[in-house]
């Protein structure tokens, strides 16, 4: 089984600082997007059961090498990094173009796994667009995966219902956070990961140029605002329960937490 996992070296939004209403991007910490780690864990589980090879692929800054090394320590076999010439300013269409050409440069695939969305952009577009670009079927929002011969049986989480589908390989799957808990690599695995290969491609290696990617990229970020949440710290005390509940409800209605 040949598995490719797409992983983003995303901004660690939980650590992002806001200064004068703007997120401070300079020197901001990055990490492998959480849900992409679920995708890597899903790939490792499949490999443990059915054998195969796992390649992780990232379109991002050169510093993403560190994130890729973590995925290698988790259990991926090879890593590929396409250096993003734009410092993260390209949209999902351009990202998908780079990922698609990189995957075509590899020796085929049975399964492509992505997270359902990334923790910073959260567009949920890369997986579906990539499947379209590579002309393979896709199963999105997957919470469990079984392999049945040449087919994948996957359970989709559609919030109100779970839908089980059967699709022949090759195909692309996007997974949810609920599919698994990504493993933490142990010391020996981290030390061994240094010996696994990380291939670095420039976009020119894929027959692309910065201009071409900018042409494909139709989304332009005009401004980026940050906001901070202040707690209200309202305390309701020394009242009978019924009265206190009513008061709490009135606050929640006022704040539009509850709607009528």
Partner 1 sequence: MPIDFSFTEDQELIRKAVKEWCERNLTLEKVREMDTKGEIPREIWKGLAELGVLLPTVPKEHGGAGVDWVTHCIIGEEIGYADITIATAAAFIVVEGAWGFTLDKYCSEEVREKYVKPAIRGEKFVGIATTEAGGGSDVAAFKTTAKKSGNEWIINGEKMYISGTEECKKYGGGYWILARTSPAPPEAPHRGMTAFFLPFDTPGVEITKRFEDCGRMAISTGGFKMEDVRLPDEYRLGEEGKGFYYTMEGFDNARLIIAASAMGVTQRVLEIGIDYIKQRKAFGWPIGKFEGISFELADLWTEMEATKALVYKTAWMNDLKYKGKFSAREVSKYISMCKLKAPHLALKACEKVMIWHGAYGYTKECPVEMGWRGVMSYCIGAEGAANIQRVVLVRELLGPDYVAYKKLKE
Contacts with partner 1, residue ranges (CB under 8 A):
65-66, 69-70, 73, 184-191, 193-194
43 touches 113 (CB < 8 A): yes
Shortest Cβ 253–partner 1 spacing (Å): 26
Shortest Cβ 193–partner 1 spacing (Å): 8
* Residues ≥6 apart with Cβ < 8 Å to 80: 55, 56, 57, 58, 102, 106, 198, 199, 200, 201
Closer of 76 and 131 to partner 1 (Cβ) = 76
**DSSP SS3 for 98:** helix
Closer of 34 and 78 to partner 1 (Cβ) = 34
Closer of 181 and 250 to partner 1 (Cβ) = 181
Closer of 39 and 130 to partner 1 (Cβ) = 39
Q: 3-class secondary structure for 180-223?
A: CCCCCCCHHHHHHHCCCCEEEECHHHHCCCHHHHHHHCCCCCCC
Closer of 233 and 256 to partner 1 (Cβ) = 233
Shortest Cβ 30–partner 1 spacing (Å): 12
Query: What's the CA gap between 96 and 101, in Å, rounded?
Result: 8
Shortest Cβ 160–partner 1 spacing (Å): 30
Shortest Cβ 233–partner 1 spacing (Å): 9
Q: In this structure, what are the phi and psi dihedrals at residue 17, rounded to the nearest 5 degrees?
A: -95, 145
36 touches 7 (CB < 8 A): yes
């Amino acid at each position: 089984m040949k598995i490719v996992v797409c992983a983003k070296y995303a901004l660690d939004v939980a650590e992002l600082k806001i200064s004068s209403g703007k997120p401070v991007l300079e020197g901001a910490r990055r990490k492998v997007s959480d849900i992409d780690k679920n995708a890597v864990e899903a790939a490792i589980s499949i490999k443990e059961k059915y054998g195969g090879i796992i390649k992780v692929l990232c379109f991002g800054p050169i510093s993403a090498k560190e994130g890729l090394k973590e995925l290698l320590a988790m259990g991926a076999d090879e890593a590929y990094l396409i250096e993003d010439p734009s410092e993260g300013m390209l949209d999902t269409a351009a990202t998908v173009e780079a990922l698609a050409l990189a995957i075509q440069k590899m020796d085929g695939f049975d399964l492509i796994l992505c997270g359902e969305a990334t923790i910073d952009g959260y567009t949920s577009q890369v997986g579906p667009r990539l499947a379209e670009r590579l002309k393979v079927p896709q199963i999105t929002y997957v919470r469990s995966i079984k392999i049945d011969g040449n087919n994948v049986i996957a359970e989709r989480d559609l919030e109100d219902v779970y839908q089980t589908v059967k699709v022949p390989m090759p195909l692309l799957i996007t997974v949810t956070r609920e599919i698994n808990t990504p493993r933490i690599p142990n010391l020996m695995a981290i030390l061994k990961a240094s010996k696994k290969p990380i291939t670095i491609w420039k976009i020119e290696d894929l027959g692309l140029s910065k201009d071409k990617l900018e042409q494909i990229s139709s989304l332009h970020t005009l401004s980026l605002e940050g906001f901070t949440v202040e707690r209200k710290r309202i305390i309701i005390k020394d009242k009978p329960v019924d009265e206190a509940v009513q008061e709490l409800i009135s606050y929640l209605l006022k704040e539009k937490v509850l709607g009528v």
